[in-house]
Chain A
Amino acid sequence: MELDPLVLSRMQFAFVVSFHAIFPVFTIGLASYIALLHGLFFKTNNPAWDRLALFWTKVFAVVFGMGVVSGIVMSFQFGTNWSNFSQAASNFLGPVLSYEVVTAFFLEAAFLGVLLFGRGKVPQGVHLFAAIMVAIGTFISSFWILSANSWMHTPAGVELIDYRFHVVSWTEAIFNPSFPYRFAHMAMASFLTGGFVVAGVSAWFLLRGRDPEANRRALSMCLWLLLFLAPAQAVVGDFHGLNTLEHQPAKVAAMEGHWETSGNVPLLLFAIPDQEAQTNRFEIGIPNLASLILTHSTDGVIQGLNEFAPEEQPPVWIVFWAFRVMVGIGLLMIATALIGLLLRRKGKFHQHTGFLKTLVYMIPMPFVAVLAGWIVTESGRAPWLVYGMMAHAEGVTPSLTGPMALFTLVGYVLVYAVVFYAGIYYLTRVVRNGMLPNEERETAGDNFRRPMRPLSATETPFDDDVDPVRN
């Protein structure tokens, strides 16, 4: 078998970026939640909010740490595997990605330490301020990353001269056409992710009768949030889709499994796209619905994949099914939030065992939806790296060989497997140890507590043997 460095590089990028993305998508939502908890405690002085804030800050610390570690790898990927692209796009991407680094450092240097270790050491108002600044900082970071990514989908404000992009207008390049939609869609996805994780963990605590007062409040708050966010995300997603239809029609055609340009396009629920035959082998759909959604008219004409040469089409099978996974989970989220409302009217959303268990099982769902969404948009851009201007094959490192790319792909999979197994394992221990009265909590011992480090904000031991220094 021929090892293609291009395919392997794309697989490697997809792997490392997916592994990285699950951490920030959670911390962005969680940071705002922690700021809200601090605000509620500041306003009401109810210690339940403080207990929740303390617990979720510990979780935040671990996830943030893992996000930073996996992010370092990302910053080298552009150079190692996509050097022609880095060289060509550096005038725009260099400063924009660097601004993300600058923001992250500013955030970490100035406010993260106060948030993680300032409890009881700084006035309550200052602590609240730090929490708000960390939340804002996570948004500024994602602002830069999503601007860079959106620019690759809808490049603007640049001129391509001799295989090099030159920035003509920074405003047009940064606020490129798909950026506002992508940013809104992603911000809401972060809130939904944070909301479902907090709801699921609160449900888990409630099932075990742990700190019911605080966790009932947390769950109630989350369910209200999800009730508004989950349907709103569907609306924002629709706007994002319309924007994509305008700028990247091939991607939308692949999402819909729509091969021939026509009106009265059905919304396919199930299909087996066959790229070689340029048709679907089997399909079940709702008549006219895709036309209605995309053109707001039942006989609206939608461009089909037949208008793009086969080598300029994205991989339809992946885009089609990833899109259905994302939307399916989105509908599941809306349903969950509605059931929560029904149970609330009966006054037992926090006691219904079946519902609480469902919430626990929902924890991984938003992560799957986010990754599926990214697969839709990134695979849907293929074969373009910068849409309409630079193909994947033009951006890859010319000196890269198949065996080299395979070596690092396997290497990153192994490194991440070890590191993230340890990380997730530790995170579950932090949660299992959470919201307990002080005397029942395991600790790794005061002697080994060191401030200033994200993970030092937790005192849960890594393995079962309790520290002999203390015993």
Chain B
Amino acid sequence: MKRFWSWAAFGFGFCYFFLPMVGMVEFSLRMRRGTYSLDAYRSVLGDPQFQATFGYSAVMALLTIVFGVFVVVPTVYWVRLKLPRLRPLIEFITLLPLVIPPIVIVFGYIRLFNTSSLLPMTGSAFGTDVLLMLGYSVLSLPYMYRAVDTGLAAIDISTLTEAAQSLGASWPVILLRVILPNVLVAVLSGAFLTFAIVIGEYVFAALLNRPAFGPFMVWAGGNKAYEPAALAVMTFALTWGCMALIQLVPRLFKHQRAHR
């Protein structure tokens, strides 16, 4: 009896998640009348606007990851090593982006960094790009922080630091050549999650008026019939790929470590 209900719950969940997947794949193949074809994908991939916006968002995601790593790794390391009392505060700050709706944060940006303010970042395209990248870093902060924190918890940073110091390493060397390689797996899992979040993000890009992939998708949703489904399939595959890499990377690295 118990097993019956378990299968029932699982089966319901399976259908609930499977049908939209099938629906979106099927719909994306319907572009040519009467037969299934990859026309919608061809149309999407050939669209110069798709190429431009996707490229823009991908570059944004990479910059966000680099910036996030450079802010988060030294901070988590330093707090664990020297300022353990600050940990609850830092943890609280990194949880704030989950509490404050993103739309409110970007509203604040528009108010605080507009052309008549002290720091008029929205005045130029470049400034807005920087602001968008920083905003994405804020959005990914909870995930990046958690990933790096778990990674650093697994290694003995004070011993590693002392060993490096007694060999005469400076702080940048310790961070770049001792700490970072040891938490690379954790950093990568945070990075893939960040990529998955940034690539399709809509609210920040739309309200800051930047030509990102999210606003392009919404535009396509309003103006095209079959292309949106193709876009959804591609984005889903991308998310799936990022998550698969998160699962895969630790295994690959463990393998390497065992050989040493």
Partners in one complex: no
